[in-house]
Amino acid sequence: MRIVRLLLYGLLGVIVVVAAAGAYCLHRTETDIAARRDRVEAIARADASPAYDAEAVAALPAPVRRYFAFAFPEPPQRILLATMTMEGQFRRPLEEGFEPTSAEQIAAARTPAFAFSGTTHLPGGLWARFYDAFAEGEMAMRARLLSAITVVDEQETPELNRSSLRRWLLESPLYPQALQPGGPVRWQPIDDTHARATVSADGLSASLVATFRADGSLASFDAEEDGDLTTPYHGSGEHAERTDYRMVDGVMIPYGFVIARAAGGETYPFWDGRITSIGFTPAE
């Protein structure tokens, strides 16, 4: 009996140590995510989205004017920050299968910056916690299996930084106040259903081509160059489709989305989901 008790005590000790190590790793991961969110929030609170300028809007390309008329039935309130949660199916880089995923993101509405984090549920009861953030022109990206084992750790590079700036633009239909004249985005005409949006900040510049529907809604954003499908991360992706527009605080926001890599005339979706909640922090 004494040996059995010793074995049980030993097993209990191992369980306690493993649980403590897991709790520490989880705390470390969530603390890192919180710090990145705090940094983006501080940037956002330094400046608000541009004020609505009817004269400047009237000078925009025709499809962009129709989009603003659709997105802003009334002149929009200036905001500092957009906060959202999402859920759907996510495909990890260089993989083919999709797994259930939930995520949260905050984005500054004037100076390009965002912090994104998500949890992907894997077979066998496993999960991966991944997060990335872009602030002051620099990107960082990490993914940890069980919130403990680092499987992706990408630090800023010129190409990743530029891709991350493009991602802020690609996500901007969720905070269209940032797309108005007077902010970091410039619009160039292409034709009656397309316009090029270029965002510039922190010495970087990135562009996407917007496609607009007949009702004025923004249907998609697309890069004009192929993506590198061999990278261990998706980056911004090169294609984003937006659907299911709904009114949120007087602004039309798309709740449905498909984000994809694109190369050689083909698209390869990796994040197919919907917004589950979204709100704006108004400027004081």
pLDDT one-digit tens code per residue, 140-158: 888 788 766 767 778 788 9
Q: Which of 138, 174, 157 is nearest to 278 (CA)?
A: 174
pLDDT at 232: 85
pLDDT at 147: 61
Q: Are 261 and 237 contacting, i.e. CB atoms less than 8 angstroms apart? A: yes
Distance spanning both ends of the chain, measured CA to CA: 70
| Mean pLDDT of the 19-48 span | 79
pLDDT one-digit tens code per residue, 149-183: 767 778 788 988 999 999 999 999 999 999 999 99
pLDDT one-digit tens code per residue, 102-111: 999 999 999 9
Q: Which of 49, 41, 152 is nearest to 94 (CA)?
A: 152
Count CA atoms closer than 13 A to 176's CA, side-chain side: 27
Domain ranges of the chain: 2-282
| Residue 192 burial (CB count, 10 A) | 11
pLDDT at 3: 64
